[in-house]
Amino acid sequence: MSLTAPRIVIGAPASGGGKTTFTCGLLQALVRRGMAPAACKCGPDYIDPMFHSEVIGAFSRNLDLFFSDAAQVRSLVADSAAHSDVVVIEGVMGYYDGIAVSDEASAWDVARTTDAPAVLVIDGRGRARSIAAEVAGFARFRADSHVEGVVLNRVSDMLYPRLKDIIETETGVRVYGYLPVLEDCSLESRHLGLVTASEVADLQVKLDKLASAMERTVDIDGLLHLASSAPALNEAPWLELIPGFRSSGYNAPRIAVAHDDAFCFYYADALRLLQHLGAELVEFSPLADTGLPEGVSGLYLGGGYPELHARELNANALMRTSISRAIRSGMPTIAECGGFMYLHDVLEDSDGGTYSEVGVVPGASFKTSKLGRFGYITLTAAHDGLLVDADEKLRAHEFHYWDSETPGNDFTAEKPQSGRSWKCGMSTPSMYAGYPHLYLPAHPQAARRFVDACAAYDGERGQR
């Protein structure tokens, strides 16, 4: 099939250059025009897609060339394009920054894989003619750089015309506008990156101000024309390639998904995949609810910030007991990073206080002074378990400042390119728990095993 798919990548020379702010402002401007944009994020980040979703009122997906092969990434973009007017893809880190010090899985890698034009957000503060050298360097660093334009960030109305002329004259790269300094539109950060979208006061006010500024200072029509120059995609939308629900002799299961201020890190396509495979997802709050939802036969505890809510999680003893009983009875469970921390006997909060939690994982989850085992990994199973059998592999990602007295030893984690490895994760016939975040769309067979195990679960007797 051939699918017209207007699309554009928003990149930057480095992290902190304004990619998320610009992307959200552009999405908001498109929504205000009555358009239906789709949003994507390069890499494994959870938080930026939350901001995208707040703007467009629909899920934003991740495009990650470590987790997925090129065909799957293109089919994910095709899926987004099939339901939108234009696909806006936010880059990750610096435009050429990928795995380790390579360009693999970088924003550039996604741009060339999806054949999408790229526009770089360049910080214009304290710059003059040397800004042209930076633009030229990025545009010519690879023969197929896909860099078709730039937008200048944090520059004045007075300086912009001069910088635009310098860049276009010296490099031939088109300048599509600028953003002035908008202090009250900045997005706050914490130890895992930006604060989540739900925590930003007056987010809609900030987005509207950004969109209004961009309508005045950015050539949005030009960006849309550039996006429309992308060639058609020939891949089928992603889920069409994966066999859906099949009867395994049981009814489709209901899976409880933790979702509140403490647990909010989920890949949208992982949840969509579980639904495609027949699961009904039921959100609940470990902070506010008194127990798991009625009639569930599976549990998904995603990542997030339980360390910021350890006291409140501890105070909800009824929920802790409900989860403990369910897991001990054999209810199929996935607990990633923050969810894994919550399952410990003890969780240290960000102020150094310690609190009893679910108590399924022995020992304490405790604060450290730096990122632990940061980045992409491939997990190899030591024995058969809930998601995979012995020697099967899962691609995953770690990003956490907390560690565990009992991180598990049921998988061998190996870093790409460096070969460094260590033991981690807990795998039983009914549970996966550990710091690594999984990307289930890369392993639909593991997702199907989880759904099938949930369908087979009997809460009165444990596993059938």
Tokens of 372: 């632990």
C-alpha span between 131 and 204 (Å, rounded) = 32
Q: Is 337 assigned a catalytic role? A: yes
- Token pair, residue 76, equals 């994910």
Of the residues 24, 337, 424, 454, only one is catalytic, namely: 337
Q: For residue 396, give the H/E element and its range.
A: strand 393-398
Strand-pairing partners, residue 344, are 361
DSSP per-residue codes, 232-244: PB-SPPGGGGS--
Residue of 5, 2, 1 whose CA lies nearest to 82: 5
- Look at residue 372 and give its three-state secondary structure: coil
Q: How far apart, in whole angstroms, are the C-alpha atoms of residue 52 and residue 380? A: 33
Whole-angstrom Cα distance, residue 161 to residue 175?
A: 10
Strand partners, 346: 356, 364
Strand pairing class (7-11; 118-123): parallel
Give the distance between the most distant pair of CA atoms in the chain. 74
Are the C-beta atoms of residues 36 and 84 closer than 8 Å to each other? yes
- How many other C-beta atoms lie within 10 A of the C-beta of residue 134? 17
Tell me the chain's radius of gyration from C-alpha atoms.
23
Active-site residues, by number, are: 337
